[in-house]
Copies of this chain bind each other. A is one copy, B any other.
Amino acid sequence: MALFQEVDYHQMTMEGVAARARVGKSTVYRWWSTKASLVIDAVDVALTAMRQGPIEVTGDSATVVRELVRRIVEAVASPAGRMIAAVSGDLRNDLAGQRQLAAMLGPHRAAGSSIVYALISRGDLPHDLDADLMLDLIAGTVLSRILLGRHPTPALVDQLTDLVLEGRLPRLSS
């Protein structure tokens, strides 16, 4: 976890992890057969540590959606979130790793989906909304910005909130 704050995926090595944990390299390999596998587990721990308690779906829908968007932006832009894009580049020929990544992300995404479903059941969002794709729209947009070196701003949270609530396409701020 400490290494996450310092290095990128490429610079992270099993040797480096072993040294930081003051164990032998073979000990690290006993638990994780690949670097990707280790990083996916570490991302899981980091995302879990970032959890901020449930979003209460009681107030107005704008407040709820903005908080959901804000948390997704925060998670994707975090060191752990950025590792997800990096590790994916290591999984093209690693089916077990692909499955591990999808299984790891599932519960974290479910936290977001449950909010979307609560908003649907209140009638704040369309009953046949593709909640899963909705989350990809939000998370993916942030990811795309980050890949291009642009850190997400509060204005981006507003733009994505308006998109979810009103289908309002993003406008240039005046």
Contacts and interface: CB of A to CB of B under 8 A. Distances in A.
A171 B130 contact: yes
User: For the complex formed by this chain, how many copies does it contain in all?
Assistant: 2
Interface string A68-99: 00000000000000111111111111100011
Interface in A142-161: 142-149, 156, 159
B91 A8 contact: yes
Interface stretch (A20-28, A51-59, A133-141): A133-141
A10 interface: yes
A148 B83 CA distance: 14
Contact of A148 (B93, B105, B125): B105
A156 B170 CA distance: 20
Nearest to A98: B149
Interface of A: 7-11, 36, 82-94, 98-99, 101-102, 105, 125-126, 128-130, 133-134, 136-137, 139-149, 156, 159, 163-164, 166-172, 174
Given A11-B93, A82-B92, A83-B89, 4 more contacts: A11-B92, A86-B88, A101-B149, A133-B170
